[in-house]
Structure 1
Amino acid sequence: MRGRGEWGNVAEKKEGSSRVKLITELVILAAAIAGLLTAYLTLRSKDDEGTAPPPGNSPSATVPSTPPPVTDPSESPPPSTTEPAAVQYLADLDALQGDTRQQQAELSDKGKRTQYLHSLKPPNPFVEYTFEFAITEGKYFCSTVGIDTKGSSGNVMAFQVYLDGKSVADYQTATNETRPVQVELTGHSQIKLFSSAVKREGTRPPAVWADARFADNCTQN
C-alpha cells in the first residue's frame, strides 16, 4: 500500500500535467487566433487596395469658384439710341416740277455696269428736262450721273444742280462713264436738277440721276 506521501506526489504530477496541457492548448488557441487575425487583416488590406481611388483622382476639398461681380444696374451705360441717319430718295418725293416715278437704271463706267434702283430718269425722248424739289432732309444732295446703257454710243450729256435758283454744280458725261455728285444743302430750301444733250448720236441719250437722294453723307445708300 501507498502512503499518504506517495498519493500526494501522484496528485501533484497529475495537476502539473494538466497545467502543461492547458497552457499548450492556450498557446495553440492564441496562435490560431493570431493566424486568423493576420489573415483577416491581409484580406481587408487587399479589399481596401481594390477600392482605393486611382492615383490623381483622390478626393480633395472643393474650392468654390469666384462668383462674378455684381453689377449695379444703375451703373450700366444706357442702351444706344443712335439711329442711322436718314436717307431720302428724291424718286419717293412729290416734285415741284418733273416726273418722280421711281425708275431703275443701268450705268456703265469703263465697261463696269451697275444697277441703280432709285433713279430719276427723264422721259424719253428728250433734249432738256428739269426736276425740282423742296429740300426736306439731310445735309447733302448725292447722286451718280451718267447715260443709261440703253442709249447709243457717242452721246454726251450735261447735268446741272441749282439751289434756290443758283447754279452750284455742273457736270458732263459721255457714254460709258459716270460722275459722282455731292452738293451741300445747308441754308437752302429748293433744289433743281437740269439735264440736256450736248452731243447726240443715234437715239436720244437717256440721262440718269442715279440714286438721287438727300443724306447726311454721300456714303449712305
Structure 2
Amino acid sequence: MTDSIYYIAKGLDITMRLYLITVLFSIPLGLLLALGELSKVSPVKKFVTFYTWIFRGTPLLLQLFFMYYGLPVMGITLPPLTAASITFIINYSAYLCEIFRGSIQGIDRGQYEAAKVLGMGYRQTMMRIILPQALRTALPPLSNEAIALIKDTSLVSVIGTAEILRNSRELVTRDFSITPFFICGIFYLILSTLILLVFKNLEKRMAISCQ
C-alpha cells in the first residue's frame, strides 16, 4: 500500500506543474481576451469571438490530440508537457475570457461615468475601478474552473505523461487491484478541497475589504 501511494504521488509533480502553468498564463490571457471582446475595434472583437467559439466548442481532449499528435504531421513536435500546457492555456483562457467579460459587463455603467467625471481615462478606469470589482464577482465561477482544471489534468495520461492517473492505471494493470484508483481519487479530492478552501478564503478577504 505504501509503495502504491508513493508511486502515485510521484505523478503529483506533473499534475501540479501543469496546473500552475495553466493558471499562471490562462488568467492574464483570459482577461486580455475579455478586454478584446469588449473592444470597439471590430477585427479584434471578431477574432476573440472566433477564438472562444473554437476552443469552447471543441473537446479539450481533441485539442490535446491535435497539439501532440497532429502538429508532428506538419513538422512541429512538442514534448508531452509542453503540448499539454499550451493546450490547457488556450482552452482555459477561452472559458476565462467569457467569465471576465460577463463580470466586467455586470459593473454598473454609473461607475464608468463617475470615473469620467473624475478625469480618469479608459486605462485608469479599468485598472482602478472596474477590474477590481469584476475580479471579485468572478471569483465563484473561477473557483469552479480551478476545480475543473485539477481534474482535467488527468487527460494528459493519454499522451503518455506520468501524472497521478496514469501511475494509478499502471499499478492496476500490474497488480490486478483497483485500490490504486481509490488512492488516486483521494488525491484528487484532497487537491480539489484545498483549491476550494483557497477560493473561499479569497472571497472572505475581498468581502471584508469592501466593507
**Structure 2 length-normalised TM:** 0.23
- Which protein has greater RCO, CA pairs closer than 8 Å, 6+ apart? 2
**Structure with the largest fraction of helix:** 2
**Structure with the largest fraction of strand:** 1
**Structure 1 length-normalised TM:** 0.22
